């Protein structure tokens, strides 16, 4: 991919189900974070964007943290060759527990 071009954001169909477990008032905030954080350099580590050290039950090898107290988690994969970011899961972190689609995920 040529530097300076933006990545296409591809949402897995299951992410719609994941969002249903999150209050609707946060949808715009999550979408905005995805748009601003993952369009240009999705595979560059930052304070709120990190590669996963070990696989999580949900797919994705990167994690984006966003929202109040960084409570929301977006799991994604980067396909640099095709210029795509595949959004695989969206969840909520409550304390030390992660919930994706209302189900607790073991970290």
Of 62, 106, 104, which is closest to residue 86 (Cα–Cα)? 62
How many domains is the chain built from? 1
CA atoms within 13 A on the CB side of 12: 17
Q: What is the pLDDT of residue 54?
A: 75
Q: What is the pLDDT of residue 1?
A: 47
CATH at residue 67: 3.30.2310.20
User: How far is 37 from 35, CA to CA, in rounded Å?
Assistant: 6
User: How far is 40 from 105, CA to CA, in rounded Å?
Assistant: 29
User: How far is 48 from 70, CA to CA, in rounded Å?
Assistant: 8
Tell me the pLDDT of the chain (107 aa) as tens digits.
455 669 999 999 999 999 999 999 999 999 999 999 999 999 999 999 999 987 666 678 999 999 999 999 999 999 999 999 999 999 999 999 999 999 998 76
In a domain, 2, yes or no: no
Q: Which domain holds residue 22?
A: 8-105
User: How far is 42 from 8, CA to CA, in rounded Å?
Assistant: 11
Q: What is the pLDDT of residue 60?
A: 82
In a domain, 3, yes or no: no
In a domain, 1, yes or no: no
Q: What is the pLDDT of residue 4?
A: 61
Longest Cα–Cα distance of the chain, Å, equals 40
Q: What is the pLDDT of residue 55?
A: 66
């Amino acid at each position: 991919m040529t530097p300076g071009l933006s990545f296409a954001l591809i949402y897995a169909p299951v992410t719609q189900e994941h969002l249903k477990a999150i209050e609707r008032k946060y949808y715009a905030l999550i979408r905005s974070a995805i748009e601003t954080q993952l369009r240009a350099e999705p595979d560059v580590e930052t304070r709120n964007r990190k590669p996963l050290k070990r696989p999580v039950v949900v797919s994705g090898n990167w994690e984006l943290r966003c929202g109040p107290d960084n409570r929301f988690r977006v799991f994604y994969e980067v396909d640099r060759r095709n210029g795509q970011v595949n959004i695989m899961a969206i969840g909520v972190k409550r304390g030390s527990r992660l919930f994706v689609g209302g189900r607790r995920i073991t970290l």
